A and B are shown apart, each in its own frame.
Chain A
Amino acid sequence: SYVLTQPPSVSVAPGQTARITCGGHDIGGKSVHWYQQTPGQAPVLVVHSDSDRPSGIPDRFSGSNSGNTATLTISRVEAGDEADYYCQVWESGSDHYVFGTATKVTVL
């Protein structure tokens, strides 16, 4: 089955930029979605279809996808961005959904 690999943790100072990667074989050919989960809360979609933002998500959140790596970028990081982040894809061939291994973003 398809595997999505994320770094376990990313640390960033307030106001700086955090980049979270999601690696998968030829992931550039798939549509990648990103979720933010804070403790005790359900996940929230922050980027879909590689780089689109749902309404209400700040433009500080952006995404890209090419080759074997998709990236979620959080610009001008704030304390409230501290959370776990997951990438997700849909495998059309098997009709299965896959989540990445999660990245914990710590704001220093």
Chain B
Amino acid sequence: EVLLEQSGAEVKKPGESLKISCKGSGYSFNNYWIGWVRQMPGKGLEWMGIIYPDVSKTTYSPSFQGQVTISVDKSIDTAYLQWSSLKASDTAIYYCARRGGGSRSYFPFWGQGTLVTVSS
């Protein structure tokens, strides 16, 4: 069974750094793209970026390029999303999602989401 287990909720202050995680299991972690999706309170889904773990090839949405960093640690089958300086507007639920294999451009598997609250 494919599972994506995300790290727990975070409460941070503006200007602080943060790294949240997404651990994959039940499949060959290195060989499937993992994406990150933001959902601000009461709003829709926004694609942030995606990474191919085997070679750490990464693509970012223009809206998030330079604002966040996506990375992986293949040794522990875990993907990360990190901020160097949080803003109040980063308050949202962040989902990781595994893409289908090959040319399948959809996301059949999702993590449970990580709530990030940024407040002074």
- Contact residues of A with B, CB < 8 Å? 1, 31, 33, 35, 37, 42-45, 48-49, 54, 84, 86, 88-90, 95-102
What are 18 pairs between A and B in contact, CB < 8 Å?
Answer: A33-B107, A35-B107, A37-B45, A42-B110, A42-B111, A42-B112, A43-B107, A43-B110, A45-B107, A48-B106, A48-B108, A49-B106, A84-B44, A86-B44, A89-B105, A96-B59, A98-B47, A99-B44
* Chain B contact patch, size range: 20 to 34
Residue of A42, A84, A86, A97 contacting most chain B CB atoms (<10 Å): A97
Residue in A closest to B110 when the chains form the complex, CB atoms: A42
Residue in B closest to A96 when the chains form the complex, CB atoms: B61
Known contacts A84-B44, A88-B107, A99-B44, then 16 further A-B pairs from the complex at CB < 8 Å, ordered by chain A residue: A33-B107, A35-B45, A35-B107, A42-B95, A42-B110, A42-B111, A43-B97, A44-B110, A45-B107, A49-B104, A88-B45, A96-B61, A97-B47, A97-B105, A98-B47, A99-B37
Residue in A closest to B112 when the chains form the complex, CB atoms: A42
> Which chain B residues lie closer than 8 Å to A45 at the CB level?
106-108
Out of A1, A89, A101, which one reaches B44, CB within 8 Å?
Answer: A101
Out of A48, A86, A89, A95, which one reaches B45, CB within 8 Å?
Answer: A86
Chain B: minimal CB distance from A17 (Å): 24
B113 at the interface (CB under 8 A from A): yes
Could you tell me the distance between the alpha carbons of A43 and B59 in the complex, rounded to whole angstroms? 22
